[in-house]
Amino acid sequence: MKNTFFNTSLLQASQRIAAGSTMLYALDKNEQAVDISTNFKEQLLTNFCLQSWNRYPDMNLRDIEEKVALYCGLHHDNIVLSDGSASIITTLLNYFGLNGKHLVITQPSYSLFDYHCKTYNIPYEPWLLNNELQTDVRYMPKLSEQSVVFITSPNNPTGSSISILEVENLLKQYPSTLFIIDGVYTEFAQEDFTPLVLRFDNLMVLRSFSKAFPLAGLRLGYLCASKNLCHLVQKLLLPFSLNNFTIHVARELLFTSAFLNDSKERIQQIILERERMFTYLRERFNSEILTVYPSEGNFLLIRFTSKHLFEQGLAKLSDHGIKVLNTSSNVLLENTFRVSIGNRYENELFLQTMTSLAYPIKPKVNSSRKSNAMLFS
């Protein structure tokens, strides 16, 4: 099946800019921009209608666990399924908080960590990123046997990653400390921490089908860990957490060769678009206007150099119907927003809107005179 992920006219983006867009382009949730095909949906719904909806979901999900394990190179005993990785995160935070563990969480990172801890009065110690927004072991708080460390890598919303070598060193140096890596953007990154769970009993890796697959609405996530850790987590999760339809899609579609190949092609196209957008913004905009950070996720983080530029930038994007995530309230992320990688048309619309914000010409290296041109039209 040929993927039409980016088969849209770039000319439309210029026309939309000129005419003034009233449509909404959702580039704020890191979802895939293009839905699965109607053929896939029709196949699923026809078979799903034959099932009994008046019964609770199946609790024996070993067949799905085996398929997930095969996908990521593990054994079914290393897999725990859940209704999204966020559900596992909140369950673990509650469990370790109630048991008085010393929680250490990289910050800034996935906003759910901070939000949930503050809502439920769960104390944690932040592990702050460095000035380049990288996870730096030199900044890590002091750990003990009571410590549980949460690391988001690739990190959301910064896009940065910790290296496998650094993770291995931490696992060896602190064998009594549990490390939990939120790796839901693994498919877009250069390194995969998942195989490490076969070697280290103090590691959990969270994964998802909501980012690399066009299935955010399915709510299917999973945890990878040793057999003993998986057994513990399974006891913490509510029974019947996966609904009948999620189970049906996982069994009938998710691991078919056609769907897997389609998803792999989407991933590669998103990575290419991410790098194209990063290069464009890095080359066209002077650092006195904005900074775009390298990313290993399906998004980019952009920082304006002043609150004035930042506010006008968000207003301009909003005027053209482009919705991005305002991340400026997070620690270390003043005047920043995160933009998801959409389809080619959405990305071009975003880039052209950004170009309309400011004069993107960088000053010449030998120029001794700074431009006094107005930044915004």
- Output the DSSP codes for 339-361: EE---HHHHHHHHHHHHTTS--P
pLDDT surpasses 70 at 360: no
Site of tokens 């339809």: 245
Distance CA 35, CA 42 (A): 13
Determine the topology of domain 11-35+259-355 in CATH. Answer: Aspartate Aminotransferase, domain 1 (3.90.1150)
Q: So what's the pLDDT on residue 137?
A: 97
DSSP string across 58-108: PS--HHHHHHHHHHHT--GGGEEEES-HHHHHHHHHHHHHHTT-EEEEEES
Domain ranges of the chain: 11-35+259-355, 58-242
Q: Which tokens is 110 given?
A: 């996935």
Q: Which tokens is 58 given?
A: 């199946």
Report whether 157 contacts 338 (CB < 8 A).
yes
Q: Which tokens is 238 given?
A: 């509510």
Enter the pTM of the model.
0.89
| CATH tag, 58-242 | 3.40.640.10
Rounded mean pLDDT of 276-286? Answer: 95
Distance CA 4, CA 274 (A): 17
Taking alpha carbons only, the member of 25, 90, 114 closest to residue 238 is: 90
Report whether 179 contacts 203 (CB < 8 A).
yes
Q: What are phi and psi for residue 265, nearest 5 degrees?
A: -65, -40
Task: Encode pLDDT of 217-271 as tens digits.
Answer: 999 999 999 999 999 999 999 999 999 999 999 999 999 999 999 999 999 999 9
pLDDT surpasses 50 at 322: yes
